[in-house]
Structure 1
Amino acid sequence: MLNQIRTVTESPRETVLAPSLIPTPVGLTRPKRLHALDALRLGAALMVVVYHYLARGGGWPTPVQQLFPETFRIASYGYLGVQLFFLISGFVICMSAWGRPVKDFFVSRVVRLYPAYWFAVIATTVTVTVIPGGRRHLPWNDVLTNLTMLQQPLDVRHVDTVYWTLFTELRFYLLFSLLAWWGLTYRRVLLFCCVWGAATPLVAASGDGLLRLLLIPEYSWFFIAGMAFYLMYRFRPNLMLFGIVGFCYCASLAPTIDEWKQLDFLGDRPAWPVTVLLAAFFGVMTLAATGKLSGIQWKWLPIAGALTYPLYLLHQVIGWELFTLFSPHVSPWPLVTSVFAGMLVLSYGVHRVVERPLSRCLKRNLARL
């Protein structure tokens, strides 16, 4: 059995030259699906929704600080859900690509990202078009460009500004696909983490350019830490991996707090909760990576995790448009609650009616290429 594991996770050269440096895989003792990650993904999405509805605001005739004075300051930290998404992404992408050819990795990303995204672009555009008094929809040629998910590098406005994170994910996928093409082993992923981490401060200090665009210095620490967490999960924790994770946490504080300072429309707020929340994210991921959360097997969590992506794509602009339409007639809290519940129902419907069948169709046809 151990020899079978080695053939999947190690190259022959690694096994011959340094078998003692390669931790023994424990993947066969781990559950095939880590339900705790579904819970974390849902938590990250809810943080972003709360931030956009109760802190950033949009569609309300009155400043959101006045409408929700008690929750505004807490909700203003919800933007950090994006950092949690990136941390989880490093883990999940490493897990999903391990032992698979690059073609399968490419297909899995296309069928995961595009069906719900296409629906969200169309649904958001239609909503903006039919509801009077709100935002103006983009020119149709810009809407079509948005369907590629490449509007940001093509200098075209987003149909919904939450889409900016998708281009960040695409850049991570591009980098990771190069590693997957080389072949995923413990030592190669570890080397990739170290090289990317070493290059990040260099490109961050060099100004704009192709390398900065590719290496994502503002968020690379979260992807790197996520990959290190997966190595812990698959091969057991060790001092090297804990060192990478700790280094990533400390290094991520500066760009994250800098981003926090740029959100000046939220007013004067302390920065220490940013440090605490990031520590909590890294802490719970440590529990997941070391198997402490593997006992969580609640059956509803995969469904909750499936709602995350459609909810993230649909909630902001459509929610703001509904606030514009109904705020003259409905009190703020009942309206927010109703819109939030409606977004959850819509997200579930998109997952069942759009995402699942279209993903199967895409996967079946792309597999023939």
Structure 2
Amino acid sequence: MTVREVTETPRRPDRTAPRETRLRALDGLRLVAALMVAAYHYGGRGGDVTAAWGSSPKDQFPTLHQYFSYGCLGVQVFFVISGFVICMSGWGRPLKSFFASRASRLLPAYWAAVLLVTAVFALPVVAYKALSPSDVLVNLTMLQYPLGVDRVLGVCWTLWAEVRFYALFALCVVLPGASRRRVILFCAGWTLAAAIAHAAHQPLLDVVLMPEYAPFFIGGVGLYLVHRDRRDVYAWGIVGVSFLIGQHYAVRGLWNAGDPNAFAHRSSAGIVLVVALGFLAVAAIALGWLNWANWRWLTVAGALTYPFYLVHEHLGWVVIHALHIGLGLPSAETFALTVVSMLLLAWLLNRYVEKPLTPKLRSALAKAR
């Protein structure tokens, strides 16, 4: 969910090679997934956001809060997209180049977001608690979640899942060299290993193999194989099995019909539907059905997605409080202006942090011995 790439056409001009074009629809889908998560954080859950609104989002959005609660599934959509794009960007690339690409893409905006949120939360007028300097320094490593350190960015747990996926893909596919056969074996092996990890109830296996998230990454990888050859039966099998397992984990984790104190009661059918739509959207892009969506502004949307995702939650709560409590704006206007302000901040981070620093960091890492 965190990359901005163009399709890489294989050097051999065979009939299964994808056409050389930028998948701008994928950029647009990434922003849609980010907006889903933002809707969840602003109006689809309780907790800290209640202090921002001055009351529960249920009171602010009596009907919409139920729909906003499904927005957390934007994360699963991100993971499917990530599987697709990481397979695409790692194909034919040496390990050193792959590492340089991933690190330079993730770290500049991430470091800036950690420092920015820390600085804002340290302001006396902000009601939220700032972390200690020691915890902030650990957050800069992106390893705060497994180390049990308080998080500056609430969404960083998803980055920890992404990093583990990158490591598995790099060791199993990029290092020996990507090929259709190797990618298929990687998907099949990870699917089986994740199922064994779930049955074994071993924390170490759970951390490494991520049974609850693996199907979404693997499904995205399978969809990239479909993009290369839509008649690849093995690729379609990977996608189908991944969806079947993924929807199970999504329902298992989010269906809360038996909890009388739940903020919103998601239906199992609604959860399955959202997961299915995520898979179908990436599949439509993989098959070229959305190649007509080739507008330049979608590239901009894709560029804003990652910095928006990083800053929208905690800084969005600060903006909500300022607009709704401080200025007395209605809920709908506050929601819309908060999203717009976070997109503007994401543009600033992209323009003044990512664009100048990403190529420099990539070049430095690629040249380092």
Q: C-alpha distance in 1, partners of 2:108/2:272? A: 35
What is the aligned partner in structure 1 of residue 226 from structure 2? 232
**1:155 alignment partner in structure 2:** 148
**Matched letter for residue 367 of structure 2:** R
Q: What is the alpha-carbon distance in structure 1 between the residues aligned to residue 123 and residue 208 of structure 2?
A: 38
| Matching residue of 1:278 | 275
User: Does 133-142 or 317-326 show the bigger shift?
Assistant: 317-326
> Counterparts of 2:28 and 2:16 in 1: how far apart (Å)?
23
Q: TM-score, normalised by structure 1?
A: 0.91
**Residue 199 (1) aligns with residue 193 (2):** yes
What is the match of residue 294 of structure 1?
Answer: 291
Contact 2:254–2:266 (CA under 8 A) maintained in structure 1 = no
Per-residue CA distance 1:19-66 (angstroms, 9 max, x = gap): xxxxx5633x51332111101101100100111111125112111101
CA distance in 1, matches of 2:37, 2:126: 25
2:362 is the alignment partner of 1:345: no
In structure 1, distance between residues paired with 2:68 and 2:114 = 26
Residue type matched to 1:216 in 2?
Answer: M
Unaligned runs of 5+ in 2: 1-8
Code of the residue aligned with 2:23 in structure 1: it is: L
1:133 is displaced (CA, Å) by 5.0
- In structure 2, how many angstroms separate the alpha carbons of the residues matched to 1:367 and 1:286? 33
Q: Which moved more, 1:330-339 or 1:109-118?
A: 330-339
Secondary structure, aligned partner of 2:147: coil
**CA separation in 1, counterparts of 2:363 and 2:176?**
26
C-alpha distance in 2 between matches for 1:345 and 1:55? 23
Matches within 5 A, 1:11-30: 26-27=16-17, 29-30=18-19
Q: Deviations over 1:82-139 (max 9, x none)?
A: 0000000000000011111000000000110000000110111111111535210111
Q: What is the root-mean-square deviation of aligned Cα atoms in Å? A: 1.8
Deviation, 1:153, is 1.3
Summarize the Cα distance change of 1:131–1:89 in structure 2 as closer, same or farther, 3 Å threshold. farther
Residue in structure 2 matched with residue 43 of structure 1 by the alignment: 32
- Map 1:55-94 to 2 at 5 A: 55-57=44-46, 58=49, 59-94=52-87
Structure 2 counterparts to residues 155-174 of structure 1, below 5 A: 155-174=148-167
> Which residue does 2:114 correspond to in 1?
121
Do 2:184 and 2:234's aligned partners in 1 also have CA atoms closer than 8 Å? no
Q: Which residue of 1 aligns with 2:3?
A: none
2:137 pairs with 1:144? yes
**TM-score normalized by the length of structure 2:** 0.91
Equivalents in 2 of 1:227, 1:80: separation in Å? 19
- Structure 1 residue aligned with 2:4: none
Is the contact between residue 203 and residue 217 of structure 1 (CA under 8 Å) also seen in structure 2? yes
Distance 1:168 1:130 in 2: 31
Q: 1:223 aligns with which of 217, 221, 234?
A: 217
Query: After alignment, is 229-238 or 337-346 more displaced?
Result: 229-238
Cα shift at 1:225: 0.7
Aligned residues: 350
Conserved? CA contact 2:164–2:208, under 8 Å = yes
Confirm whether residue 109 of structure 1 aligns to residue 102 of structure 2: yes
Structure of higher CA gyration radius: 1
Q: Secondary structure at the match of 2:240?
A: helix
Change (3 A) 1:236 1:254: closer
Which one of 297, 312, 317 corresponds to residue 315 of structure 1? Answer: 312
Paired position in structure 2 for 1:188: 182
Q: Identity across aligned pairs (percent)? A: 41
Q: Are the equivalent residues in 1 in contact too, given 2:69–2:264 (CA < 8 A)?
A: no
Q: Which amino acid aligns with 2:238?
A: I
> Is residue 131–residue 325 contact of structure 1 (8 Å, CA) maintained in 2?
no
Q: CA deviation at 1:146?
A: 0.3
- Separation in 2, partners of 1:294, 1:70: 35
What is the match of residue 5 of structure 1? 12
| Aligned-pair CA distance for 1:161 | 1.4
Q: Which residue of 2 aligns with 1:130?
A: 123
